Amino acid sequence: MKDLDILIVGAGIAGLTAAALLKKEGAEPTIIEREKAEDYNRSGYMLGLLPLGGRVLTALDLQNSYFNHSIEMQQYEIHKEDGTLNKAYSLDFINKTYGSYRGIARQELIDILLSKLNKTRIIFGNTVKEIENTDHKVQVKFSWDEFSEYDVVIIADGMHSETRKLLWDHNEYEYVDTHWGGWVEWLEGHELKAYKEYWGASSFMGLYPVKDKIGVFLGGPVKLIKKEGVAQFSKKIKRDVLPEYKILQNALEQFQKSDHPFFWEFYDVRTPEWRKGKVILLGDAACGFLPTAGVGASMAMDSAAALVDELTRTDKHHIEYGLRLFEKRQKERVEKAQTDSRNLGSLMFVKSNVLAGIRDYAIRFYTLRELVKNISKTMEG
């Protein structure tokens, strides 16, 4: 590993996980990140991290830090838009069988991963302009017009990866647009041990606890909510909430105080071929998730661990074989988990009152394992 020159594009969760695991194996990858250092990791959202991701942090000797900056989720609840509980699912089958399922702020997780890295190896505020596979190396031209050569290039700069476009034509990957989206805010000073979601008709809301606060999502069909704006839309939703659900009302009031809440449009992407020569896609750049099943970050970390595992078994002369084994090992399981996120999204993102009523009735007969059957199988190995 010490002999491999590795470039990682993107200092997000997938890229940093791969970098930390590579460093543990003796490599010193270079990371390039498009955000400037002063802007990096200053905003974000909440994550649910399944044991798929948590186990990787254990391998990096980061479990104590992870547990200190996160909380265990004990229940998943689906409510109607007025606040009434429709169905509650215990998360014991995950926590007791596979490991702790925890809520963490994305900023906290990034900082935890950074603690294992040499930050001087991160080049901020720059991008890759050109990539070319040669017989023995990958030649890279950076935005400051300098060329370098690498044994492996890992593209991990997100769902809307600009670097992917340099080698993959637009018809070689497919976006799915749900035409839904919404705003993220934080509710300070509250504590929950459950994920609470409120499924309406043309509205969706979620309360997602992390350490010492709750991440709140409020959304609906993009055209509708952008037309109404966050203040007006939150007021409209609040009118339907029963008075006894104070935490939901407080969360909606938070949006009315907010100047520029983080806005998130719900896309995913699937790339049928993850590799080109000695260049490999990782995380959302390979297969990006809707946030509906809360599995994207966990799968990205799991994939990073699989990639590094395969790279530790190869040498400079057989890089492409190692990358091929990684793709064969990981691609199908990631795509199956992505299918669960899509299917859950089709239940959540309903515009019609009639269809919402049918859905709300039907959901009472689903087990959590049935809702996320592929994710459950993935945790089995």
pLDDT tens across the length of the chain (381 residues)? 788 999 999 999 999 999 999 999 999 999 999 999 999 998 778 999 999 999 999 999 999 999 999 999 999 999 999 999 999 999 999 999 999 999 999 999 999 999 999 989 999 999 999 999 998 999 999 999 999 999 999 999 999 999 999 999 999 999 999 999 999 999 988 889 999 999 999 999 999 999 999 999 999 999 999 999 999 999 999 999 999 999 999 999 999 888 788 899 999 999 999 999 999 999 999 999 999 988 999 999 999 999 999 999 999 999 999 999 999 999 999 999 999 999 999 999 999 999 999 999 999 998 988 888 878 788 877
Pairing mode, if any, of strands 279-281 and 194-199? unpaired
pLDDT of residue 373: 80
Residue of 340, 343, 345 whose CA lies nearest to 372? 340
247 burial class (0-12, 13-18, 19+ CB within 10 angstroms)?
middle
Q: How far apart are CA 7 and CA 152, in angstroms?
A: 6
Geometric angle at alpha carbon 323, from 318 and 328, rounded to 5°: 125
229: number of CA atoms within 13 Å, CB side? 7
pLDDT of residue 75: 96
Q: How far apart are CA 12 and CA 303, in angstroms?
A: 14
In this predicted model, what pLDDT tens digit does every residue of 115-138 receive, in sequence order?
A: 999 989 999 999 999 999 998 999
Tokens of 110: 């990034």
pLDDT of residue 377: 80
Q: How far apart are CA 174 and CA 193, in angstroms?
A: 36
Domains in the chain, start-ordered, CATH in brackets? 6-73+102-174+269-348 (3.50.50.60)
Q: Where are the beta strands (DSSP E) in the chain?
A: 6-9, 30-33, 46-49, 71-72, 75-80, 85-90, 102-105, 122-124, 128-133, 138-142, 147-150, 152-155, 174-188, 194-199, 204-210, 213-221, 262-270, 275-276, 279-281, 287-288
pLDDT of residue 341: 93
Edge-to-edge strand ranges of the sheet holding 71-72: 46-49, 102-105, 71-72
3-state DSSP call for residue 249? helix
Q: How far apart are CA 184 and CA 189, in angstroms?
A: 17
pLDDT of residue 3: 86
